[in-house]
Amino acid sequence: MDYTKIFNLGGKIALITGGGRGIGRTLAEGLAGFGCDLVVVDRESENSKDVVNGIEKKGRKCLFFTADVSDCQAMHEVVEKGVLNFGKIDILVNNAGCNIRRPALEYTEEEWNQILDTNLKGVFFTTQAVGKIMTKRREGKIINIASVMGLVGSPPYQNVVPYCASKGGVVQLTKAFALEWAKYNVYVNAIAPGYVKTAIVQPLLDDKEKYETIINIIPLKRFALTEELIGPVVFLASEASNYVTGHILYVDGGWLAQ
């Protein structure tokens, strides 16, 4: 192995969900920077041209598809189109997610379904669709975006019980898929971010009291930047992690070390 190229992803094709904004867009651009061509999926199309242009400026190819990960048929079609255009998918990043903040006593069934369908059902069936390609080729890297909230209960001021349930499910899916597909040389891991500066946490950033409470329980005393998730994802997508599967990599500023 040429260790100077251990993180090189040149020639690889990555599919990332929720890649139109926030963490997903940053990760798409990061993977392109390490050599990947991209299939980017997002349920909104408003940023599609900017996303494609940003990746093409890095000298990589990009296909953008508008689809909702909770629509299993739509995701199978996206995977088929990606393979038709690129010939394969080497890397899957299950990033698409949503959250609704509300006291547990006030959630509706519709809200529960929305969160679980996006955050958990979407991960399972997108992984299934891509897994059919990877297991047949007997190679592949799958990275799920979980959360520290999938490993510990959320503080009471967070009001995110269904979100915690969905991300806990992602953690278990990661381990179960890793064990089932190890024989196919398909690696399945996850990163579990703590608080990252994105639109989804903007209400916490705007609430001075809640923000200070959160900062006081993070050893590094700050929220993460989206670009600080690129390194962990590239590691799990590259040859550098060829003896790592079923692992949850915490990117949380030291929170879970307490």
Beta carbons of 195 and 218 less than 8 angstroms apart = yes
The CA distance from 118 to 182, in Å, is: 26
Q: Which long-range contacts (CB under 8 A, 24 or more apart) does 227-230 make?
A: 227/26, 227/30, 228/196, 229/23, 229/26, 229/27, 229/30, 229/191, 229/193, 229/196, 230/26, 230/27, 230/30, 230/31, 230/33
Alpha-carbon dihedral sign for residues 24, 25, 26, 28: positive
Catalytic one of 107, 157, 163, 250: 163
The CA distance from 58 to 133, in Å, is: 27
Beta carbons of 9 and 237 less than 8 angstroms apart = yes
Active site annotation includes 163: yes
| 3-class DSSP string for 8-51 | CCCCCEEEEECCCCHHHHHHHHHHHHCCCEEEEEECCCCCHHHH
The CA distance from 103 to 256, in Å, is: 24
The CA distance from 83 to 52, in Å, is: 18
Q: Are strands 37-42 and 140-145 parallel, antiparallel or unpaired?
A: unpaired
Instruction: Show which residues are catalytic.
Output: 163
